[in-house]
Amino acid sequence: MLEHVDTSRFKGQKVGVLLGGDTGERDVSLNTGRAFVKALSEAGYDVAEYDLPNDLGRLADEKPAAVLIGLHGGSGENGEIQGFLRMMGIPYTGSGVMASAIAMDKARTKALLNAKGIPTPRGAFVPAAEFDANAVDEYARTVALPAVVKVNDAGSSVGVYICHTPERFAEAIAGVGELLTDAPTSGVLFEEVVEGHEFSIGMFDDQFLGAIQIEPASEFYDYEAKYQSNTTEYFFVEDEDLLIALENIGRATYHALGCRGVARVDFIGYPGDLKVLEVNTIPGMTATSLVPKMAARHGIEFNTFTELMLASARI
């Protein structure tokens, strides 16, 4: 698997890892990035660590041969850093500017996927400029309880509320309102609650890495379940029909957004009724992260997978 990747491309050259950022996902990014730095150092690379945005000037001055992006959320995942690297002529890992921007915008991702016939939960979007934290009753009419209320352009399940009662819905409206920004993608997404299991599939270029069923101890796969819990359970999908369905929908989603490199597609539902929740163009790479689990099942240990990611860097 992944024989198409030439791991000799950047051997003997200075490479970089981008990490940190200034979003609520900074701690996860630091864990991801430092795991990359350790892996590449152990593989013999001369690795520079760039904690953005503070090290942006140094990155431009040093201009490494390639960078592995370990940023999550914000300008690190929405196409902005990808655009900067492209202008600088620095090859980088993951999806390009357009795919990164679309994937970070959940509402536009839904619209694009729905146009392609790829199912997503029914919902409505309110841009940040039009959002009114006092209009609880108005928003309650857009989607029936139980409902999901979430920030449109956040990752790692930050700013996601599952609401079963009017009181929780009002709490969600107040909570997401505090997380909105003046970014053009900022806003609030209201969605139906879809019953079923949570699944995630991994792609590396056009290669399917596998599918995992996630069983969090909490109500859904939130930030704590992803990065802090020891009780979340993971099961590789073995049922052939379900695996084929997840691969086919996941691959179609990956191509619809124009992704490249490593990406993860998240689903919810039951066999025969699967809906895409979102696309993550820079998946986490911590000890509990899903994509490293998928790679390991193919016999690709973390250090090797990190080198493969670096070697896939493109402008």
Q: Active-site residue numbers?
A: 25, 156, 227, 264, 266, 278, 280, 284
One CATH from 3.40.50.20, 3.30.56.10, 3.40.50.720, 3.40.50.10090 for 14-93+303-311: 3.40.50.20
Q: Which CATH superfamily is domain 123-192 in?
A: ATP-grasp fold, A domain (3.30.1490.20)
Model confidence pLDDT, tens digit, residues 195-242: 999 999 999 999 999 999 999 876 655 445 444 446 789 999 999 999
What pTM does this model have? 0.92
Helix (H, G, I), strand (E, B) or coil at 23: coil
Neighbour count for residue 262 (Cβ, 10 Å) = 26
Model confidence pLDDT, tens digit, residues 94-141: 999 999 999 999 999 999 999 999 999 999 999 999 999 999 999 999
In the CATH scheme, what is the code of domain 101-118+195-300?
A: 3.30.470.20
CA within 13 Å, CB half, 229: 17
Distance from C-alpha of 8 to C-alpha of 298, rounded to nearest angstrom: 21
- Provide the residue count of the chain: 315
Q: What is the pLDDT of residue 21?
A: 93
Asked if the bond preceding 53 is cis, omega within 30° of 0, the reply is yes
CA angle 88, 91, 93 (to 5 degrees): 130
- Sheet strand arrangement including 262-270: 233-236, 207-215, 197-204, 262-270, 273-280
Indicate if the pLDDT at residue 308 is higher than 60: yes
The residue extents of the domains of the chain are 14-93+303-311, 101-118+195-300, 123-192
56 burial type by CB count under 10 A (0-12 exposed, 13-18 middle, 19+ buried): middle
